[in-house]
Structure 1
Amino acid sequence: MIWTLITFVVLLLVLKKFAFGPIQNMIDNRRNAIAESIEAAENTRREAERLLAEYRESIANAKREAEEIIERAHKVGESTKNDIVNEARDLAQKEVDDARKQIQRETRKAIRELKDEVADLAILAAGKVTSKSINKEDHLRLVDEALSEVDFDKLASEGD
């Protein structure tokens, strides 16, 4: 038993001199490596959290910008719609005004033609009644008399 004790002590001294130092160094190195890994993991986690916060902020900014773009597009669309409606309304009003002017021109033309026709008929009737030829002065006088009896304003208002 003494030999066992002596052997144990000698073995312990040999292990202390040759094995415990390197084993302790390996344990210390491993501890340091683990601590560095933990520190690196912590740094990576902090960096990931920072990037996540930036990403979320970037997404929020993108959403705001998209909403602003959509709002501007709605405003431009509404403005364009109003412009088109106003332009169509103006064009329709112009068409109506042009049609009215054309009707007035046609009415005046028809009245002039009617005056000429009435004058010719009046001359023809007067010529038959008097059975003589009418000279130019008499002709103009008879036309003026016949035309003065016709109410062309009334005819023009009926044409509208």
Structure 2
Amino acid sequence: MSKDGIVAVATLILLGVVSHYSDPYNPWINLLARVGNALVFLYILWRAAGKSLVAALTNRRAAIADEIETLAARKAEAEAQLAAMIEKIDSLDAECEAILKESHAQGEAIRETLIADALAEAEKIRNAAHRAVDSETKKAIQDLRNQMADEIVQSVEADLKKRLDMDAHLKLIDNALKKVVLN
């Protein structure tokens, strides 16, 4: 047996004897025996498991310190990512504004182009309508002239037939037709 074992057994025997030594019950001696018993028990525990308990607590302390460092690094990384995201969101807001302005400007340009094209098309239609009206007017005037010439010729022919003979009549018709056609 080791020196520690002998001390522990001797102490337990001494405490047992002391606790039962006095004939009348003495609470102080009982308390002293119990405290001594608890101290011997703790001493035995310390000798048996003290080093492993200290090692376990030291390892646990180191593990907690490592975990705190890891969490601090992760927190710093998360904060950096958050700052990057906030900056990205701010840049996206600015980019959205720029895109909105650009699309508005493009819309205005398209609108102006459509209006200019519509006005040009309307001008072409108006010019085509004027040409058609002028053409129809000239055609109507020409048709009216031809109709009036035919009526005049028929009227003059009928009048001359009454007044002239046939040879003179043919000569007069030819002269009248030449004048009407040449004008």
TM-score (norm 2): 0.64
Matching residue of 2:50: 20
Gaps of 5+ in 2: 1-10, 16-35
Where in structure 2 are the equivalents of 1:5-154 lying within 5 Å? Answer: 17-130=47-160, 131-132=163-164, 133-135=169-171, 136-140=173-177, 142-143=179-180
* Change in 2 beyond 3 A, CA 1:139/1:12: closer
Counterpart-to-counterpart distance in 2, 1:144 and 1:20: 142
The one-letter code matched in structure 2 to 1:139 is A
Task: Give, in angstroms, the shift of residue 70 of structure 1.
Answer: 2.3
Cα deviations by residue, 1:34-87 (Å, 9 ceiling, x for unpaired)? 111111111111011011111112222222222222222222222222222211
Task: Give, in angstroms, the shift of residue 11 of structure 1.
Answer: 7.0
Counterpart-to-counterpart distance in 2, 1:13 and 1:75: 88
Counterpart-to-counterpart distance in 2, 1:125 and 1:13: 158
Counterpart-to-counterpart distance in 1, 2:60 and 2:181: 131
Counterpart-to-counterpart distance in 2, 1:142 and 1:11: 155
Gaps of 5+ in 1: 148-160
**Rg larger in structure:** 2
Greater relative contact order (Cα < 8 A, sep 6+): 1
Counterpart-to-counterpart distance in 1, 2:110 and 2:65: 66
Bigger shift: residues 91-100 or 17-26? 17-26
Question: Percent of pairs identical after alignment?
Answer: 27
Name the Cα RMSD after superposition.
3.0
The one-letter code matched in structure 1 to 2:132 is Q
Task: Give, in angstroms, the shift of residue 12 of structure 1.
Answer: 7.6
The one-letter code matched in structure 2 to 1:138 is N
Tell me if the contact between 1:123 and 1:142 (Cα under 8 Å) persists in the aligned partners.
no
Tell me if the contact between 1:119 and 1:143 (Cα under 8 Å) persists in the aligned partners.
yes
Tell me if the contact between 1:123 and 1:139 (Cα under 8 Å) persists in the aligned partners.
yes
The count of corresponding residues between Structure 1 and Structure 2 is 144
Tell me if the contact between 1:122 and 1:142 (Cα under 8 Å) persists in the aligned partners.
no
